[in-house]
Amino acid sequence: MRSETAIFNLSGIYEHESFYLKDKSSRFVDLSDISGTNCYCDDEAAKEILSRAGNTARGIHFIDSGNYHYMSALFLRLVREPFSLVVLDHHPDMQRPMFDILSCGGWVLDVLERSAFVRDVHIIGADRILIDELEESVRQRAFFYDVADVTGADGSVRLPDTKHPVYLSVDKDVISEDELATNWDQGEASGDFVISFANKMLSCREVIAVDICGECSADQDGINLEKEIQVNDRFNCAVLSALMNCGT
């Protein structure tokens, strides 16, 4: 995997973090002036985002909070080879939208319905209640795993059985709120598991790209905001270091 790193700043949260500053080759892409992007992404916003992103899916992408997880679908529109999509997320992100618009809660379904190159989808850590609420025809289009399903008795990671180059998408809301805060309800995985999973994926599979979302919000209530931004910053630094070391 080509290890170019890009930071996509939509909400302004990355202006309060510094994990990317040590990597002088990283690109900071400011998208905060584009309207029509919070949770939903209209066609004009999508066109402008891809224009500024450089029209390539490859590399390591930090894509802000979970409100912008649809960025994964935009990058995957640029992939022109068969691929497996592997997602770590507390939410299945396969809701059918009320209107014909890309959303953070339905981007995986968008990939399945728009991409001629997606071959299989593997979602790890999603809430089983949310999975059961999906339309049966939608639910059958992906493989779902609890974190325990991909963790050996010795704590080792077991990768899903992918057959094609992998696009790996990580939403930090899969991680327990005891470790860090996101702006969505969260799962029970550990940060160490997420890093170990990503490491093993890059070591054992051909990987097209990795993206990471799940920042807290700059105006989020109910948390010590300064502390949680620092915690997320440290985790981002750790996962970026792991990915870059593994990709070299």
CA–CA separation, 162 and 225 (whole Å): 38
The domain tally of the chain equals 1
Give the CATH number, domain containing residue 196: 3.40.800.10
Select from 205, 208, 137, 200 the least CA-distant residue to 169.
208
Q: What angle do CA 27, 32, 35 make, to 5 degrees?
A: 135
**Whether residue 51 has pLDDT greater than 90:** yes
* Average predicted confidence (pLDDT) for the chain: 95
Structure confidence at residue 99 (pLDDT): 83
CA–CA separation, 138 and 61 (whole Å): 27
pLDDT per position as a tens digit, 127-159: 999 999 999 999 999 999 999 999 999 999 999
Distances (CA, A) of 125 to 92, 107, 148, 186: 9, 17, 9, 10
Q: Is 81 exposed, middle or buried (0-12, 13-18, 19+ CB in 10 A)?
A: exposed
**Whether residue 57 has pLDDT greater than 80:** yes
Structure confidence at residue 210 (pLDDT): 98
CA–CA separation, 55 and 53 (whole Å): 6
Enter the tokens of residue 110: 């968008």
Structure confidence at residue 245 (pLDDT): 86
Structural domain boundaries, residue 204 = 5-247
Helix H, strand E, coil C: the string for the chain is CCCCEEEEECCCHHHHCCCCCCCCCCEEEECCCCCCCCCEECHHHHHHHHHHHCCCCCEEEECCCHHHCCHHHHHHCCCCCCEEEEEECCCCCCCCCCCCCEECCCHHHHHHHHCCCEEEEEEECCCHHHHHCCCHHHHCCCEEECHHHHECCCCCECCCCCCCCEEEEEEHHHECCCCCCCCCCCCCECHHHHHHHHHHHHHHCCEEEEEEECCCCCCCCCCCHHHHHHHHHHHHHHHHHHHHHHHC
pLDDT per position as a tens digit, 88-121: 999 999 998 878 899 999 999 999 999 999 999 9
CA–CA separation, 29 and 246 (whole Å): 24
- Residue 3 — pLDDT band, cuts 50, 70, 90? low
